[in-house]
């Protein structure tokens, strides 16, 4: 176990903790307790995809709730080695695979529940990631968590603004996505951090309906089925399904 460290997930392996001195305390158990009630306790017969699974803590929790199949994916082979080790020790039967969120279309299937926790702010192309999840793998529920910075208030958003309008962009409750050019918290993989309004707006733009906000940085969403009314392939590249709907043909 030590040879696979350091561990970011503190997992109980039959009484042995993988990260007992974690700088965040008992993480992610303490974090999980803030929103576990928002996920069905009985997942029998359901499939789960854990995107950015790290050492597999949340994958293991989904299996404990009876999920028929759990697949964890991550781009970091070190994390995957930890996840496979933990899964073998606990006899979970979970599959872990090296894959980025940008490659989920290759899975060729939708899952009843997709976990996308603590990943968005590590991505250079965060909105693309949400679009790909909606397009390829989310069958019903998406549980989304991201670091948030800035105002927690969410203000009213008009369907359109005139070109002359500038003051709205100074409102702290307007959707924002903060770009990190160098590092944040010593981590060079932190790229984009939204405020709450920005996170909610991105989820809606990608085609998700927010149904619950059980913890400050956690959102439970359902996949909305959006029929496009525009057949111009070029527009599909830069316009989300939400913006395509309702355009004049």
pLDDT at 241: 62
Domain limits for position 185: 35-152+168-244
pLDDT at 246: 52
Residue 219 located in a structural domain: yes
* DSSP SS3 for 193: strand
Residue 133 located in a structural domain: yes
Mean pLDDT of the chain: 92
Confidence check: pLDDT of 158 > 50: yes
Residues 118-150 pLDDT 10s: 999 999 999 999 999 999 999 999 999 999 999
Residue 158 located in a structural domain: no
Q: Is the dihedral angle over the CA atoms 99, 105, 108, 110 positive or is it negative?
A: positive
Residue 30 located in a structural domain: no
Residue 22 located in a structural domain: no
Residue 43 located in a structural domain: yes
Q: Which of 26-40, 165-179, 227-241 has the lowest mean pLDDT?
A: 227-241
C-alpha to C-alpha distances, 87 to 74, 98, 150, nearest whole angstrom:
15, 15, 37
Identify the burial level of 214 via C-beta atoms within 10 angstroms of its C-beta, where 0-12 means exposed, 13-18 middle and 19 or more buried: middle
Residue 24 located in a structural domain: no
Total structural domains within the chain = 1
Residues 65-109 pLDDT 10s: 999 999 999 999 999 999 999 999 999 899 999 999 999 999 999
For residue 70, the domain's CATH number is 3.40.50.150
Mean pLDDT of the 60-67 span: 98
pLDDT at 249: 36
Residue 20 located in a structural domain: no
């Amino acid at each position: 176990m030590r040879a696979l460290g350091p561990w970011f997930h503190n997992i109980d392996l039959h009484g042995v903790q993988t990260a007992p001195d974690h700088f965040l305390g008992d993480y992610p158990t303490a974090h999980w307790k803030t929103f576990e009630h928002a996920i069905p306790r009985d997942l029998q017969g359901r499939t789960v995809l854990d995107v950015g699974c790290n050492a597999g803590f949340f994958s293991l929790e989904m299996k404990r709730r009876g999920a028929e199949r759990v697949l964890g994916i991550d781009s970091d082979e070190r994390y995957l080695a930890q996840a496979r080790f933990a899964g073998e020790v606990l006899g979970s039967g979970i599959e872990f695979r090296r894959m980025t969120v940008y490659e989920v279309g290759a899975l060729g299937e939708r899952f009843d529940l997709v976990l996308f926790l603590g990943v968005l702010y590590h991505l250079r192309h965060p909105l693309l990631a949400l679009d790909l999840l909606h397009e390829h793998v989310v069958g019903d529920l998406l549980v989304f968590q991201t670091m948030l910075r800035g105002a927690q208030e969410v203000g009213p958003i008009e369907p359109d603004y005139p070109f002359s309008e500038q003051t709205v962009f100074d409102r702290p409750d307007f959707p924002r996505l903060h770009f990190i050019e160098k590092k944040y918290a010593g981590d060079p993989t932190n790229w984009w951090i939204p405020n709450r309004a920005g996170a909610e707006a991105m989820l809606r733009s990608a085609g998700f309906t927010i149904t619950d906000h059980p913890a400050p940085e956690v959102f439970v969403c359902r996949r909305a089925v959006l029929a496009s009314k525009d057949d111009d392939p070029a527009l599909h590249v830069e316009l989300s399904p939400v913006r395509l709907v309702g355009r004049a043909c």
